[in-house]
Amino acid sequence: RRRGRLKPLAVWIVALAVGALLAAPQLLPSYQLASLSQRAGGLEGEFFTSYSFHPLLISTFVSPFALGNPYPQGSVELMAYLGLLPLVLASVAVWRARRPSARFFLALAASGLVMAFGRWNPLYHYLERVPLFNLFRVPARYLCWTSLGLALLGGYGWDALLAARPGTTSRLRWLGWVGYGLVLATGAAVAVVCGLDADSLVAAWKWLPLLMAAASFAVLASAGRVRPPAWAAMAIALLLLDLYAYGAVLDKTYNATHPLDQVRAEPLSVSVLRDDPDLYRIYTKEEILPALAPLRESLYPNIAATYGIASANLYMPLVPAAYGDYLADLNAQRLSLLNVRYYLVPQLLPVDEASELYDVSNPFADLPYHETVDIRATHLSGLIVESYLSHSADLPDGALAATVYLQTDQGDEISLPIRAGLESAEWAYERSDVQRVVAHARTP
């Protein structure tokens, strides 16, 4: 008898050991990296609770885009939409299902939601002292528990309603036709709105939940009044329509992709950088998340690696602690020690001085506008002035943008004018939206 009880345990231990050995080539380096990373001693403070799920975001389970267009201000970390019908079916499971497992999945869903609150959960900060738990950030990822719990509860609700026998003499059989009608109306509405642009589609989601909710409750009310195969087809059709309309928004925002020919085309910045034969690194400004085109052209992490260009900044799930501390207080001297020669700043589209001008400056260089810079006496045989004009597409040829004044050791003054179309030009001259309105020539 003892052998009979121990055999399953022994098999389980052996299977676990074999699995660990098979995974060792991944587990051991990951352990080594984790011990050198910022998470070695556990995460702390704001980083530990970053991407917490605000309690008011519970409304997004019903209206997923209540806050408007999710990109780029929102985050997929905070999205846990299942569709309205699964929520309705889950409520049926809580009301009707008598299985002990239903209570377990309800507790799982509730626990995931409470954990996802993160910084808005007064007990969550105590997890900073709990080993293993204190290695992971993004509390909103506990919504995986919520999604799993609600999905299983929805399945129990489905079983309960599908088992209901259709009434042959019920006076409410017309509810089935109401359900069919609302599902068809939902399908027609989804077909129309999914052809709209992203902003219009998000706007349509202000009223789509009302239609989805009406159809969901009609499906619920028609259970037992239409035959099970017909009821199942109606419910599945509504769920697919709901999730398809939801996915259409993400398809035009977060999941938007480049055409294949643009993906295969090498960024123009790469051809410029390859003209420099020396060893160097680039650094790309990450404070803004640009559109796809400037994202590729600025070699946003980790695009530079695709073309064999060394970059000082990379995106890594586990950041080595020393590297992270070094970049946290970056300045020109530290960039120099990293051998950074080129600083790339991705730009938002289109040109908008009010929202974009802050981003054209280089925080690692002193830009001496509105002040005089004294340079010690220097012997030179020639002087090259490199410049570009920013947000200046309306300047005509010859318009004076700046003047560089030089004084010789004999006291003679030399002035070098920088004029639009002659010595300098709009930095984004090649961009299609600029070329349509630019009023000066491109400089030689």
The amino acid occupying position 152 is L
Q: Which residue has the higher pLDDT, 245 or 432?
A: 245
Q: Which residue has the higher pLDDT, 212 or 384?
A: 212
Q: What pLDDT, on the 0 to 100 scale, is given for residue 68?
A: 86
Neighbours of 41 (CB within 10 A): 11
Please check the confidence at residue 16 and state whether its pLDDT lies above 60: yes
Neighbours of 101 (CB within 10 A): 11
Q: CA-CA distance, 198 to 204, in Å (whole number)?
A: 10
Q: What pLDDT, on the 0 to 100 scale, is given for residue 188?
A: 92
Q: What is the pLDDT of residues 215-232, one digit of tens each?
A: 999 888 888 788 888 889
Q: What is the pLDDT of residues 139-155, one digit of tens each?
A: 999 999 999 999 999 99
| Cα-Cα end-to-end distance for the chain | 92
Q: What is the pLDDT of residues 69-90, one digit of tens each?
A: 887 777 888 999 999 999 999 9
Q: Which residue has the higher pLDDT, 44 or 402?
A: 402
Cα–Cα separations (whole angstroms), residue 330 to 226, 363, 364: 67, 10, 9
Question: Helices marked H in 37-83 — which ranges?
Answer: 45-48
Task: Spell out the SS3 assignment of 72-140.
Answer: CCCCHHHCCCCCHHHHHHHHHHHHHCCCHHHHHHHHHHHHHHHHHCHHHCCCHHHHHHCCCHHHCCCHH
The conformational region for residue 165 under phi > 0 = left, psi -120 to 50 = alpha, else beta, is beta
